[in-house]
Structure 1
Amino acid sequence: MFDLQGFGPQIAFGAWMTVQVALGGLLVGLICGLLGAWAKLSPYAFFRALGQSYTTVVRGIPEILVVLLVYFGGEDIINRMAEAVGYDDYIEINVFVAGVCALGLSFGAYATEVFRGAIQSVPRGQIEAGIACGMQGRQVFWRITLPQAMRLAIPGLGNLFQVLLKDTSLVSLIALPELMRNSAIAISNTKEPFTFYFIAALIYLAITSVVMLGQIYAEKWANRGVKRAAS
């Protein structure tokens, strides 16, 4: 139906790169989100201010600027630090690492609020019961709070991950060969923008559909015990 004129493997590689960037950003984002939620729920004012600053700044600027700032700003900082210790050669940041970190930071800023709300929704009585049984704070978090918070956070995190998948197109600005950049290269050579943009749209839709199915399954799996108790 569509004549890719030999650019099929390049488009397929771009789609695979998009998936890798999205999964990498998800991993970084989950870590940032958990740390951000911990900071905002901390009894110490310094950590609360740090968490609030993180979410306010990152959510207050477009994701495209986050990508550019992480790539160019991170590169500049690293080279300045290298010069300070006497290293004169130019150091270039890996575009994949920069893209993953940038998208992860953006994802984490929104995930922070999802985790914070989920953690606060865990019944206080269960936490107090864990403490009464002799558990330390760390044990209560890993064995009681986090498992229940993750169940409550899955819907919100799933929606954020779908947004993250589409935001991977932004890393094409730093020359990462993901789906949109490879599509643009194919278009510049074939002069057929509709064909390749339409194929890119279908690929994004297919990936997003798989994520939606995974989210539905994850929600059912996480809530299986709750449903049995309710029945």
Structure 2
Amino acid sequence: MAASSATMFDLSLLSLSAPGWGGVMLGGFVRSLELAIGGYCLGIVLGIGGAFGKLYGGPILRDLLEVYTTLIRAVPELVLILLLYYAGTDAVNQLIGLFNYGPVDINGLVAGIFVIGVVQGAYSTEVLRGAIKAVPPGQIEAARAYGMPPFQVLRRVTLPAMLPYAIPGLSNLWLIATKDTALLAVVGFSELTLVTRQAAGSTKAYMMFFLAAGVLYLLLTLVSNVVIGIIERRARRGMADPV
């Protein structure tokens, strides 16, 4: 029993060089970060387009965006990841086949970023739509009265004014994106959760390796909270504190 406990918490197994798994876990952590950052950025781009489309687009565009956000938010994320990862890859290859090109092996990182980005985009759309609607309409009307063209109103008034309202929701979506990367383990992408499971299965030190993975996720969350706090304070400069 003592030998088994010693194996479960043999810290040498976390060393960066073989036979330790520390280097492998850090590599998986870096890939998780790449997935989270890429998917989050893609989600914000989709969210900006979706928010403005819902607010200012035509009826057909608004209906399509409503279907997109409703479906994505209604279906469990694990099901969406499986559907988008496999069905999306197959759809791309079928589209390429229409132009008489053979199937391509889509990079797992690119596919993962696309999957997380599509999921994030639906939530970002609603967060940004709400933030835009929170901007006092008098500010936009004043900018138009000064003769600013629409793009300049967007760049110099709407986006800066909506940022303080959007940051809390976008911050939460970033933390969700970091956790969603773990779901890609089910499709075989070598992010932190998958390599942790491989390390634990090889050494039988399940407790130690999953605790180590939890610590890495916790550190990421703590650092993210510090950075988010700095961004939020900077965005709210000059604004009255809420009562």
Q: Considering the TM-score relative to the shorter chain, is it more than 0.5?
A: yes
The answer on 1:42 being equivalent to 2:51 is no
Gaps of 5+ in 1: none
Distance 1:65 1:92 in 2: 22
CA displacement 1:31-68 (0-9 Å, x = unmatched): 01111111111251011112111100111111112222
Decide which moves more: 78-87 or 44-53: 78-87
* Cα drift, residue 85 of structure 1: 2.2
Equivalent in the alignment of 1:191: 204
User: 2:123 aligns to what?
Assistant: 110
What pairs with 1:81-100 in structure 2 (closer than 5 Å)?
Answer: 81-87=95-101, 89-100=102-113
Give the aligned CA root-mean-square deviation in angstroms: 1.6
The higher radius of gyration belongs to 2
CA distance in 2 between partners of 1:103 and 1:227 (Å): 35
- The offset of 1:227, in angstroms, is 4.5
**What are the within-5 Å matches in structure 2 for residues 66-215 of structure 1?**
66-87=80-101, 89-215=102-228
Aligned residue-pair number: 228
- Partner amino acid for 2:208? T
Q: TM-score, normalised by structure 2?
A: 0.89
| SS of match in other structure, 1:176 | coil
* C-alpha distance in 2 between matches for 1:83 and 1:226: 55
Q: For 2:220 and 2:140, how far apart are their aligned partners in 1?
A: 38
- Summarize the Cα distance change of 1:97–1:43 in structure 2 as closer, same or farther, 3 Å threshold: closer
Identity %: 38
Distance 1:110 1:43 in 2: 18
Q: 2:25 aligns with which of 4, 7, 11?
A: 11
Quote how far apart the aligned CAs of 1:174 are. 2.1
- Alpha-carbon displacement from aligned partner over 1:121-164 (angstroms, at most 9, x marks no partner): 11111111111101111211111001111221001110111111
Whole-angstrom distance in 1 between the partners of 2:98 and 2:58:
34
The runs of 5 or more residues in structure 2 that have no matched partner are 1-8, 14-18
* 8 A contact 1:15–1:178 mirrored in 2: yes
Give the one of 50, 56, 64 matched to 2:70: 56
Instruction: Tell me the amino acid that sits aligned with residue 78 of structure 2.
Output: I
Distance in 2 (alpha carbons) for counterparts of 1:146 and 1:221? 15
DSSP 3-state at the match of 2:239 = helix
> 1:56 & 1:165 partners in 2: Cα distance?
22
Q: Which runs of 4+ in 1 moved over 3 A?
A: none
Partner of 2:56: helix, strand, or coil? coil
| TM-score, normalised relative to structure 1 | 0.94
